Amino acid sequence: MPVVMDAERISRALTRIAHEILEHNRGLSNLSLVGVRSRGVPIAQRIAADLRKIAGEEIAVGALDITLYRDDIMGASAGVAPLVRKTEIPFSIDGRTIVLVDDVLYTGRTTRAALDALTDFGRPKSIQLVALVDRGHRELPIKADYVGKNVPTSREESVQVKLRELDGVDEVVLQGKE
């Protein structure tokens, strides 16, 4: 299984993204990160750590569980209802710039669910999207503002993001059809 990003490439990509966020928003005032569970959360935390190093500022990080907002879990095609975890956003999102952080951007449906979920929490000033990997095949008009790496894939393949916080290792792997 080909490794498309190793630990070093992931780390450099996240640092670059941190710089891009800083530049694009002309600073970090009124900006918070929200990681989409599960793997978006450690990625958001690493970006926050990079931002602290670069800009010397503490950025708030929240965790968003979008299971209850998905459009594909109820019904015959689904199979199983995924485990629901808690959402923890310990700050108000009203009037803030929220940077959503996810590991893989694919059809865009997860992002759509995350947008719906965020809207139930308040009214952000704007929402931006970080994706560590963009694998194409969008089904909705969604785009990432910050991308770690573009990985062209076919529909039969899948992209596995492993992070040391959850999986013990940092790597992005492309899995072909069995």
| Contact set with another protein (CB under 8 A) | 65, 67-69, 73-88, 116-117, 120-122
Whichever of 1 and 76 has its CB closer to another protein, that residue is 76
What are the φ and ψ backbone dihedral angles of 86, each rounded to 5 degrees? Answer: -75, 145
Q: How far is the CB of 39 from another protein (least distance, A)?
A: 15
14 CB-near residues (< 8 Å, 6+ apart)? 43, 46, 47, 50, 132, 148
Strands of the 158-162 sheet, one edge to the other: 3-5, 171-175, 158-162
Q: How far is the CB of 30 from another protein (least distance, A)?
A: 20
Q: How far is the CB of 175 from another protein (least distance, A)?
A: 10
Pick from 176, 173, 140: which is nearest to 6 by CA?
A: 173
Q: How far is the CB of 27 from another protein (least distance, A)?
A: 29
**Measured distance between the N- and C-terminal CA atoms of the chain, rounded to whole angstroms:** 11
Whichever of 23 and 83 has its CB closer to another protein, that residue is 83
Q: Copy the structure tokens of residue 5.
A: 């990003």
Whichever of 29 and 77 has its CB closer to another protein, that residue is 77
Whichever of 21 and 117 has its CB closer to another protein, that residue is 117
